[in-house]
Amino acid sequence: MLWLPATTAAMARHEIKKQAFGMTDSGEPVEIYTLTNANGMEARIMSYGGTVVSLKAPDRHGKLGDVVLGYETLDGYLKNSPYFGAIIGRYANRIGKARFSLDGKEYTLGKNNGENTLHGGFKGFDKVIWKGKEVKSKDGVGLSLSYVSKDGEEGFPGNLTVTVVYTLTKNNELKIEYNATTDKATVVNLTNHSYFNLAGEGSILQHELMIDASRFTPVDSGLIPTGELRSVKGTPMDFTQFAGIGTRIDQQDEQLTFGRGYDHNWVLNNVTGGLALAARVYEPGSGRVMEIYTTELGIQFYSGNFLDGSITGKNGQVYKQRYGLCLETQHFPDSPNKSDFPSTVLKRGQRYNSSTIYRFSVK
């Protein structure tokens, strides 16, 4: 028999482990699942919000580091979380004036962001308990999470049955597959709200970013799209070539003023229906690279502008403005009120499918 030191033996396996992670205020138990692959990469995901609590990826020297923001314990997530690592639904990003019409009927939602609805309302999918099940596939180890959102929940029509499968693959990818069905026409837009910091700490302004998009959806002062698809050419929104996130973020630009930095949806070029490269992030200090592949049409790049130092997260880190970045694959914000945008309507008998891969490597 081949002898391996204990640590190597543990690392040489793809495995998933379930542990208790505390209780919600109403006494519901929360579990955390630890997924590991043979390279030592590790993802910890909890049943509250389907949240990615930590994600450890190697740097150019092979040293593992946690590349997502969040808390060490459940408590922080329950008290005050700007959607750290969570599944977002039923509708990711904003719905203007907190209402929309569907099949001639008007639906009123919660105004949890000024006059608008953000990330599904007051109690979105980030604040519910998902039912977890361990799954194994040829790609790696996975966690299947399901949740039934009731007809009328947060104002949305239809009982929506949602499943999200997280897989940690052999190739250092975190794959997220979303699907949903409904018993009545509704709107659906699901994403994950991880805040990445490929250095593991500090500002993200030195990270370099490429987004494969020649257009973005400009917004008004409430961050609701105007309906226009505008060329990025000659603007600080142009990430068609790798650019440092900090190089243009403070330029005099109406769109950057509205977002206090980047907080916009980019219209992806390569929409094939299959998985296509949407964005690439490189952090020069650690050498870490993250590539995002998605079946979605859009990606929200949010540069953590609303982090303000009031949150102390993992390892006592104070999360100041722009200490984390989100790249949320999605359909466009406010699509339910924009007839020219690709539809987010899901009808009875149809299936919502969406996949995104975050692939980690080094340069």
Rule CB under 6 A: which residues touch ligand BGC? 82-83, 93, 223, 263, 300, 302, 306, 326, 328
Min dist. Cβ of residue 225 to ligand BGC (A) = 11
DSSP letter at 159 equals -
61 is catalytic: no
Q: In the complex with ligand BGC, which residue's Cβ is closer, 93 or 172?
A: 93
37 Cβ neighbours under 8 A, 6+ residues apart: 14, 140, 141, 168, 169, 170, 172
318 forms bridges with which residues in the sheet? 312
315 to each of 56, 57, 311, how far by Cα in Å? 14, 17, 12
Q: In the complex with ligand BGC, which residue's Cβ is closer, 171 or 305?
A: 305
Distance, in Å, from the CA atom of 363 to the CA atom of 359, rounded to the nearest integer, reads: 13
Min dist. Cβ of residue 270 to ligand BGC (A) = 22
Q: In the complex with ligand BGC, which residue's Cβ is closer, 173 or 328?
A: 328
Min dist. Cβ of residue 336 to ligand BGC (A) = 17
Distance, in Å, from the CA atom of 117 to the CA atom of 182, rounded to the nearest integer, reads: 21
Q: In the complex with ligand BGC, which residue's Cβ is closer, 158 or 298?
A: 298
Q: In the complex with ligand BGC, which residue's Cβ is closer, 126 or 283?
A: 126
Min dist. Cβ of residue 211 to ligand BGC (A) = 15
Distance, in Å, from the CA atom of 327 to the CA atom of 195, rounded to the nearest integer, reads: 8
Min dist. Cβ of residue 328 to ligand BGC (A) = 6
CB 130 within 8 A of CB 50: yes
What is the 3 state secondary structure string of 222-280? CCCECCCCEECCCCCCCCCCCEECCCCCCCCCHHHHHHCCCEEEEECCCCCCCCEEEEE
Min dist. Cβ of residue 117 to ligand BGC (A) = 12
Q: In the chain, which residue ranges form alpha helices assigned H by DSSP?
A: 6-11, 74-79, 254-259
331 is catalytic: no
358 Cβ neighbours under 8 A, 6+ residues apart: 173, 174, 175, 176, 194, 290, 291, 292
Distance, in Å, from the CA atom of 131 to the CA atom of 144, rounded to the nearest integer, reads: 8
Q: In the complex with ligand BGC, which residue's Cβ is closer, 33 or 302?
A: 302
The active-site residue, picked from 14, 119, 193, 331, is: 193
61 Cβ neighbours under 8 A, 6+ residues apart: none
Radius of gyration of the chain (CA): 20
The active-site residue, picked from 153, 173, 328, 331, is: 328
Residues with a catalytic annotation lie at 193, 328
